[in-house]
Amino acid sequence: MATDVLWLSTPSPTDLAQIEQVLEPPTYLLAPVDLRSALDRVTLGDDDAMAALQRTLDEAMAQTDPEADLSTLERLDVAISGVELCRDASDRAQLRAALLHQGSRVHRLFGDTIEWHPDARRWREYVHDQGVVRPWLSAIAMAPEDLPSLALGQQAYEATRTSVGDAVATLRLPVDPTAQVLVDGSPREPRADGSLELMPGRHLVHQERQGRVIERWDVWLEAGSETLVEPRVDEPSFRRFLESASQGTKIPPMVATLLAAMDREVWFARPRNDAPPLLLRVRAGQLESVSLATAPPRPSLHGSITPFAGLTLPGEGSPLPRLGVAVDGRVQLGLGEIGLGVDAWLWPGRPQLLPHAAAGLDWVQVAVGWFGRSAASAGLRTRVAVSDKIQVRGAAWITLPVTGQREDVPVLMLGAGLGYTAPFGRRRLNTAEMRSDRGVDEFGGWGAKSRGETVAHDGSVDRCDPGFPFPRR
């Protein structure tokens, strides 16, 4: 099973390599904010809800029969209630358009009887002791300064907007100076005590950290009221757990809930100076350390392609400069590896292939193969990594006499080149990806805020900065 590794502080390339050797690929690397956002992160369900709202609104606008107003209102109400997150101006505009149309339907259905008609109770809200259309109130609260153009009830909407314009409600949020607050998709700055003054109506509120949604609330505010919302995760307790995570640390119920919401096994890792990183897994409600020294290494599969230049030395005559390409596949197990490959000597002269098998250390291997159609070969091949994806490869071959060997087969072949290499099933990270370009240690999990969009490996969609140190697959 694939594993998530949550790094409690920034790992070095050596730390990453050591962890890679003991966990099954693919191994996904997380920052603390990924776990913190597990309960309220953006998912494909949020996008589905917005898409369902748009479909319902399109159907409602195409339905012009007044006799269908009540059923249309019901369908719109289900679709509007299904939207639980308003991420930005685009979401806000879409949600507000549905509320405006729903309000127009309510007005056409009830008109001036909205204040007293018993069937209008669910569509009515009182502000300053005056009954107003409830969907319009929410639409006004989302964008008080905007005056839309409505096909139905324009004058009634403007009158409602004027009558509720000075109404205020208070929302009190958890104080978190590291999180950005968004109300109906618009950034807002709470007071020091976490309070915000908003217009009465429905509001979709959420907190973001490093572009991740860490808390969200769907609230209805009545005029003149004060509403307090609680976080689903106690921030100080969450931080204390991460700071103290070590062998034998008990998993608090709150953290257990977050881990369950990840839908995948999560291990923890903490870099240590001049020592292998501390690797921890969850067992029987507590953290259990895993020794990197005794853990069996996991094999990893790699492939490479390398154009090369070299010399072939025939038994008689002068050395011949030649160009070719080498293709290798190898399985690494700790410091050792085995592999198969083909060296193709292409130009000048007749193309000749040297398929071979090799075994040895990760930087040098003994190889045996068959050159052309009539010569057994033995040699050494070496590889030096320039970066995660670039390698310098060299090889030296001699041919072994066999019965019927052609006279034009060279007795010695030398080649070297610069090529591309990559792992299969595991993503290696370069140093630049371990910190963001915003100058914040994101493994601390308490810093930057940004916007963007990526699709996570678990099917969720995170609106986050594409430069987050571990982008998702």
What was the pLDDT predicted at 217? 97
What was the pLDDT predicted at 218? 97
What was the pLDDT predicted at 26? 60
What was the pLDDT predicted at 408? 62
Judge whether residue 212 has pLDDT over 90: yes
Asked if 210 and 33 count as a contact pair (C-beta separation under 8 A), the reply is yes
Number of domains in the chain: 1
Q: How confident is the model at residue 442 (pLDDT cuts 50, 70, 90)?
A: very low
Q: Between these two residues, 330 and 388, which has the higher pLDDT value?
A: 330
Segment 56-109, tens digit of pLDDT: 999 999 988 888 889 999 999 999 999 999 999 999 999 999 999 999 999 999
Q: How confident is the model at residue 159 (pLDDT cuts 50, 70, 90)?
A: very high
Q: Between these two residues, 418 and 437, which has the higher pLDDT value?
A: 418
What was the pLDDT predicted at 461? 36
CA dist 396 and 110 (Å) reads 90
Domain assignment present for residue 349? The answer is: yes
* Domain CATH number, residue 305: 2.40.160.20
Domain assignment present for residue 387? The answer is: yes
Q: How confident is the model at residue 336 (pLDDT cuts 50, 70, 90)?
A: confident
CA dist 345 and 308 (Å) reads 9
Segment 162-186, tens digit of pLDDT: 999 999 999 999 999 999 999 999 9
Q: Name which of 267, 264, 331 is nearest 297 in CA terms.
A: 331
Residue 294: which residues within 8 A CB-CB, separation 6 or more?
none
Judge whether residue 452 has pLDDT over 80: no
51-55, 331-335, 400-404: the lowest-pLDDT one: 400-404
pLDDT above 70 coverage of the chain, percent:
85
Segment 148-158, tens digit of pLDDT: 998 889 999 99
Q: Tell me the pLDDT of the chain averaged across its residues.
A: 84
CA dist 256 and 221 (Å) reads 32
- Burial class from Cβ neighbours inside 10 Å (0-12, 13-18, 19+) for residue 95 reads buried
Residue 274: which residues within 8 A CB-CB, separation 6 or more?
none
Q: Name which of 325, 251, 195, 235 is nearest 36 in CA terms.
A: 235
CA dist 208 and 186 (Å) reads 12
Domain assignment present for residue 408? The answer is: yes
End-to-end CA distance of the chain: 16
Q: Please compute the mean of the pLDDT values over residues 400-414 and round it to a whole number.
A: 73
Judge whether residue 454 has pLDDT over 50: no
Asked if 415 and 326 count as a contact pair (C-beta separation under 8 A), the reply is yes
What was the pLDDT predicted at 287? 95
How crowded is residue 321: how many other Cβ atoms within 10 Å of its Cβ? Answer: 11
Q: Name which of 11, 31, 18 is nearest 467 in CA terms.
A: 31
What was the pLDDT predicted at 406? 61
Segment 348-362, tens digit of pLDDT: 888 889 999 999 998
Q: How confident is the model at residue 14 (pLDDT cuts 50, 70, 90)?
A: confident
Segment 385-403, tens digit of pLDDT: 888 789 999 999 998 877 6
What was the pLDDT predicted at 301? 84
What was the pLDDT predicted at 300? 75
Asked if 321 and 414 count as a contact pair (C-beta separation under 8 A), the reply is no
Q: Which two tokens stand for residue 468?
A: 């987050």
Domain assignment present for residue 381? The answer is: yes
- Highest mean pLDDT out of 257-266, 315-324, 436-445: 257-266
Q: How confident is the model at residue 120 (pLDDT cuts 50, 70, 90)?
A: very high
Asked if 426 and 300 count as a contact pair (C-beta separation under 8 A), the reply is yes
Domain assignment present for residue 285? The answer is: no
Domain assignment present for residue 104? The answer is: no
What was the pLDDT predicted at 405? 59
Residue 351: which residues within 8 A CB-CB, separation 6 or more?
344, 345
What was the pLDDT predicted at 465? 32
What was the pLDDT predicted at 294? 52
Please report where in the chains the tokens 């007005």 appear, as a residue. 107
- Highest mean pLDDT out of 135-144, 307-316, 405-414: 135-144
pLDDT above 90 coverage of the chain, percent:
63
Judge whether residue 51 has pLDDT over 90: yes
Judge whether residue 429 has pLDDT over 90: no
Domain of 326 in residue numbering reads as 300-424
What was the pLDDT predicted at 94? 96
Q: Between these two residues, 333 and 211, which has the higher pLDDT value?
A: 211
Domain assignment present for residue 420? The answer is: yes
Domain assignment present for residue 396? The answer is: yes
